Amino acid sequence: MTPAHVRLKLFASLAPLSPENVDRVVISPGVSVKALLAHLDIPVAKAHLVFINGVKRSLDTRLNGGERVGIFPPVAGG
């Protein structure tokens, strides 16, 4: 199967955990966001907000390749 890719943007305290080549993160088509994060050693518990192509989605959303994925940890400062 041809590998698929997503663009991954990790915000705030998750940013240092970004994999190399964030613009072309290899995925197996059909993988959930949760499984992808686990595979990349990114703590799923900190992934409070999941955005796919600019729309809020859940950790269970499956990726097919070509998506922009954004992950925000909780942010509460003022």
Partner 1 sequence: MKNSLSRRIDVLALSRSLSDGSPCRTIDARQVMRLADEAGVTGRVVEVAALRQHVLPDRYIRNLKTLSEADQIRLLESAVCIVGQGGLGGLVTETLARIGIGRFHLVDGDRFEAHNLNRQLFSSIDHIGMPKTEAAVMRLKTINPGLEVMATAAYLTPDNADALMGSCNLVVDCLDNIRSRFALEAAAKGAGIPMVSAAVAGISGHVTTIFPEDEGLETIYGPEDQLTIARGSETRLGCLAPGVNLIASLESAEVIKVLLERGDTLQNRLLIVDLADYTFETLRLSGTTAAKKASATPQATAKKQRHFS
Give contact residues for partner 1 (rule: CB under 8 A).
9, 11-15, 48-49, 51, 54-56, 70, 72-78
Within 10 A of 37 (CB to CB), how many other CB atoms are there?
23
26 versus 49: smaller Cβ distance to partner 1: 49
CA distance 19 to 76: 25
2 versus 77: smaller Cβ distance to partner 1: 77
Q: How far is the CB of 2 from partner 1 (least distance, A)?
A: 29
Within 10 A of 10 (CB to CB), how many other CB atoms are there?
22
35 versus 59: smaller Cβ distance to partner 1: 59
Residue 43 identity: P
